[in-house]
Amino acid sequence: MEPRRLRCATDLTGAVSSCRGAAAIGFCTVLFLTAPRGLAAQETSSCAPCHEKERAQEEKSVHLREGVACTDCHGGDPKEIDKGRAHADRVKKVPHTEVPKLCGGCHADVRRMNPYGLPTDQLSRYQTSRHGEVLAQGDTEVATCTDCHRAHGVLSVKSPDSPVYPRNVPGTCGRCHGDEELMKKRGKKSTAPALYRQSVHAALLFDKGDLSAPTCATCHGNHGAVPPGVRDITHVCGKCHVKEHEVFERSPHFQPTRQGDFKGCVQCHTNHKILKSPADIRKKCGLCHDEDHPGPKRFDAIFARIDRGEAALRRTGERLEELTRAGFHTEDDRVLWEQAKTANRQILPGQHALDLKTVEDLASTAEKTLAEVDRSLEEKEKSKRVRRLALVPIWGFLVVMAGLFWAKRKAVEKRAGSAPSPGDRE
């Protein structure tokens, strides 16, 4: 019979071991239940050991995170270790022409996409796009889903590493549309990506990091990508340039645009290489009008008015800065100056009506506000001059006082020098 103390120790050790075992089982169960579905699918799939490159690409994929496995696209049995049996169930490399339909199997399914808030019309949009039309005609080199989103390692559009992240879109489109040989076979130019890089839109996107700046997809669409027709261009540009579009509808160019005789915005600004207030925009008038036509003369008058307003705004702004540095309170003046600046900026979209009266009305509003600022600044400058004049008597008084003190000191020193010393008096 075991001693009581030994028996107790043995029971205690067993209990502790049992508790540890139960805790370990519980911990593993929690890990299993809380592990991402995609990770579990990857670890249990037999595809990974052979397809290491694709496995590495899929590690950051949104598909892996949501439990989409290799076999969902390629078929096969992920539980089989033997290659023959694993590939037995219709394993295939997806043909390029079948990619849209394969992706659409999930992305056109409302039930599947609803939890993610994703649209389900991408497939139908693609089929009506120029890419989809050319694919239906048998062109196997045309872009499909995987050319833009990749086949493996598909990232969220919000990821900076995604090919369809706004900053990366020009490069993604440029892989095909900047390929001279590929475009030449289809009778198209390959200059669009390079021209876009020189535009104000590209400067906003790449230099200033403005992700709302227009990219290829902003104007042409993404899944339903089509080149805008002549009559549609003003509406495409008008999505961002709302005021310009509204004013353009009152211009003499609007009806010719509606009839297809004028190219709207791109007639003057071009399409991809859009520059800010190009110096040679005046030359564009000569493409349609001779110098005797009133159109170019009206253009010159409008721009002269704009330049005059900009110069006045600049001069007042410089005076404002100078007085601010001098220590004057210019907060109210600055508010008025900003109002004048806003009114002056409204002339820029207003010029698209090619109506000198409209420009004059807008410019006069800015001028009145600037005149009020100038009057206030003039008062401050007078005060500044008075301050300077007030310093003259002050400095004069100080100089006189300094001279008197100096003379007094010299007199004291002189008397001290002529006084007899104690030894002389004895």
- Is there a single domain that holds both residue 301 and residue 376? yes
- Is there a single domain that holds both residue 262 and residue 322? no
Residue 350, pLDDT score: 83
**Section 39-67 average pLDDT:** 81
Residue 37, pLDDT score: 46
- Is there a single domain that holds both residue 318 and residue 248? no
Residue 187, pLDDT score: 93
Domain-embedded: residue 364: yes
**Section 183-187 average pLDDT:** 94
**Section 307-336 average pLDDT:** 92
User: Over 90: is that where the pLDDT of 180 sits?
Assistant: yes
User: Over 50: is that where the pLDDT of 13 sits?
Assistant: no
Residue 230, pLDDT score: 66
Structural domain that includes position 266:
228-274
User: Over 60: is that where the pLDDT of 71 sits?
Assistant: yes
Q: Mean pLDDT, the chain, as a whole number?
A: 84
Domain-embedded: residue 326: yes
- Is there a single domain that holds both residue 379 and residue 326? yes
User: Over 70: is that where the pLDDT of 362 sits?
Assistant: yes
Residue 278, pLDDT score: 64
**Section 358-371 average pLDDT:** 89
User: Over 80: is that where the pLDDT of 154 sits?
Assistant: yes
Residue 136, pLDDT score: 95
Residue 279, pLDDT score: 60
- Is there a single domain that holds both residue 266 and residue 300? no
User: Over 50: is that where the pLDDT of 354 sits?
Assistant: yes
Residue 189, pLDDT score: 95
Residue 1, pLDDT score: 41
- Is there a single domain that holds both residue 344 and residue 375? yes
Report pLDDT digits (tens) over 197-238: 999 999 999 999 999 999 999 999 999 988 887 678 888 999
Domain at 341, CATH number: 1.20.1270
**Highest mean pLDDT: which of 32-36, 394-398, 418-422?**
394-398
Q: Which residue has the higher pLDDT, 236 or 412?
A: 236
- Is there a single domain that holds both residue 269 and residue 299? no
User: Over 70: is that where the pLDDT of 410 sits?
Assistant: yes
- Is there a single domain that holds both residue 234 and residue 263? yes
Q: What is the pTM of this model?
A: 0.72
- Is there a single domain that holds both residue 237 and residue 267? yes
Domain-embedded: residue 307: yes
Of 45-54, 313-322, 386-395, the least confident = 386-395
Query: Percent of the chain, pLDDT > 90?
Result: 47
pLDDT band for position 381 (50/70/90)? confident
- Is there a single domain that holds both residue 321 and residue 373? yes
Domain-embedded: residue 118: no
User: Over 70: is that where the pLDDT of 141 sits?
Assistant: yes
**Section 31-41 average pLDDT:** 44
Domain-embedded: residue 134: no
Report pLDDT digits (tens) over 228-285: 876 788 889 999 999 999 999 989 999 998 888 888 898 888 899 998 776 667 778 8
Q: Which residue has the higher pLDDT, 167 or 363?
A: 167
Residue 44, pLDDT score: 61
Identity of residue 392: V
Query: Percent of the chain, pLDDT > 70?
Result: 86
Domain-embedded: residue 69: no
Residue 24, pLDDT score: 46
What is the domain count for the chain? Answer: 2
Residue 211, pLDDT score: 96
Of 220, 239, 274, the position where a domain reaches its end is 274
- Is there a single domain that holds both residue 237 and residue 316? no
Of 214-218, 238-242, 303-307, 416-420, the least confident = 416-420
Residue 280, pLDDT score: 66
- Cα separation, 166 vs 263, in Å, equals 27
Domain-embedded: residue 371: yes
- Is there a single domain that holds both residue 304 and residue 380? yes
